[in-house]
């Protein structure tokens, strides 16, 4: 599955994964952000411990993808799925 930035056209590959534990184990740092996907607001959980990994729950399944924080803020977080 791909996430496409509506403003810039950049694509981000999303891979199916298990639900993240979201614990503070070994200094993990979590943050929650929201983006708009296909016109609907979605919560994104961000893990900043070793880079920036993002997790999203879509249709009951969890997906992981990498995206820079500036891509969320710079475009207002508007994306499409393909």
pLDDT, tens only, 40-78: 999 988 887 766 788 999 989 999 998 766 556 544 568
How do the domains of the chain map onto residue ranges?
A: 2-81
pTM equals 0.80
The pLDDT assigned to 73 comes to: 56
Q: Which comes out higher in pLDDT, residue 21 or 57?
A: 57
Q: Which comes out higher in pLDDT, residue 17 or 25?
A: 17
The pLDDT assigned to 74 comes to: 47
pLDDT band at 38 (very low <50, low <70, confident <90, very high): very high
DSSP assignment of 1-62 equals -EEEETTT--EEE-EEEPPP----GGG--EEEEEEEETTEEEEEEEE-TTS-EEEEEETTEE
């Amino acid at each position: 599955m791909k996430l496409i930035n509506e403003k810039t056209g950049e694509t981000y590959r999303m891979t199916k994964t298990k639900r993240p534990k979201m614990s503070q184990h070994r200094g993990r740092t979590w943050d929650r952000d929201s983006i708009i996907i296909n016109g609907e607001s979605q919560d994104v959980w961000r893990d900043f411990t070793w880079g920036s990994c993002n997790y999203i729950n879509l249709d009951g399944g969890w997906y992981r993808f990498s995206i820079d924080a500036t891509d969320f803020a710079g475009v207002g977080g508007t994306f499409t799925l393909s």
